[in-house]
Chain A
Amino acid sequence: MTGLPETAVLLHSGIREEVQATFVRLSRPRAEATVDAVWWAELHRRLGARQEPEDDEHWSWGTIADQFGARGGWCVGVQTPDNRVQGALAYAAVPAGAGGEAACYIGWIATAPWNRTWLFDPPEYRGTGTKLLLYAAAHSYLLGLKGRLVLNALPSERTTAFYSARGFAVAGSNADGTIVMRLSAGHAMDWLQRERLL
């Protein structure tokens, strides 16, 4: 009803077929049931004990959904027909100010562990993270922010490579060591046009 994207096509690596997934609003109960209670238990079941936990293994998407929902932000998942959430995103609109131009600020974003190339070769689904970012850019556009996005991330080669490949640029660093990555209006509008959304 708000005109936001409703579905996304993901590539299932195993059957080499495209699967239509749906964007769903994540409330606390839904996030707890479909993300917190599933992602890490399934990873442990598939891979057993691991020496290095994932950076986000301690995140509580139930708490994130509660916080962003209550304060006027959004928490969204992308769900395949088998009702499994393949990735999740929480974001809010930030006005122009000391931090730069108005943009949608991505508070948290992650894909399900089985969709990560460094854990599974091949990952179960490809394209989940990109579709979540595209969803956020589309919403930023619909809020009159020209698709601009901003997020803070740990400075790693993997992070900068992924976001740079999608048009983000490093815009600075924070006192806690994280880096600020921005998707400019120019890059966002180009991306939305390439995807034939505009």
Chain B
Amino acid sequence: MARKTQATHLARGDSLPPAGTGWPPEATCARSGSAAKPSDDLGREITTLKALHPKLQLRFRDTELEAMDTKTKLLLLQDIREALGIAPLKRRDL
């Protein structure tokens, strides 16, 4: 009986069915007005946060972001998250 219950559970819910319909037409970066997409992870994260939270009033141009070094981008990202009340994840292993 237990085995049957487990089998039913597995059939219904234990394995992810593929899902998706593609790129969302209203995605942030498609609406941000910027033709240039940052090529690095930090730049992409900052650009996305800027587009999602316009009230932050971040005053820099995308070209200025591209020119920043990694350390500056990292500090900027930390500042933005702090301003938004986003705490770092307590662990990074899921």
Contacts of A131 in B (CB 8 A): 94
Q: How far is the CA of A9 from the CA of B87 in the complex (A)?
A: 23
- A71 and B49: CB pair below 8 A? no
Q: Mark B15-39, 1 if CB is under 8 A from A, else 0.
A: 1111111111011111110000100
Contacts of B23 in A (CB 8 A): 67-68, 71, 73, 92, 107
Indicate with 1 or 0, residue by residue over A124-137, a CB within 8 angstroms of chain B CB atoms.
00101111111100
Interface residue B4 (Cβ < 8 Å from any Cβ of A): no
- Whether A94 contacts B26 in the complex (CB less than 8 A), given A72-B44, A143-B48, A144-B84, comes out as yes
How many A-B pairs fall under 8 Å by CB?
186
Residues of B within 8 A of A163 (CB): 19
Task: Tell me whether A29 is interfacial, beta carbon within 8 Å.
Answer: no
Contact partners of A181 in chain B: CB under 8 A:
19
- Decide if A15 is an interface residue (CB 8 Å cutoff): no
- Besides A7-B93, A126-B14, 19 new A-B residue pairs in contact (Cβ under 8 A), listed by A number: A1-B74, A6-B92, A8-B93, A25-B41, A70-B37, A71-B29, A92-B24, A92-B29, A95-B28, A107-B24, A109-B20, A111-B15, A117-B11, A117-B14, A117-B15, A142-B81, A153-B19, A158-B11, A162-B15
Q: Which residues of B contact A (CB under 8 A)?
A: 10-24, 26-32, 37, 41-42, 44-45, 47-49, 51-53, 70, 74, 77, 81, 84, 86-94
A residues with a Cβ closer than 8 A to B are 1-9, 20, 25, 54-56, 59, 67-68, 70-73, 87, 90, 92-95, 97-99, 102, 105-111, 115-118, 123, 126, 128-135, 138, 141-145, 151-154, 156-159, 161-165, 174, 176, 178, 181, 195-198
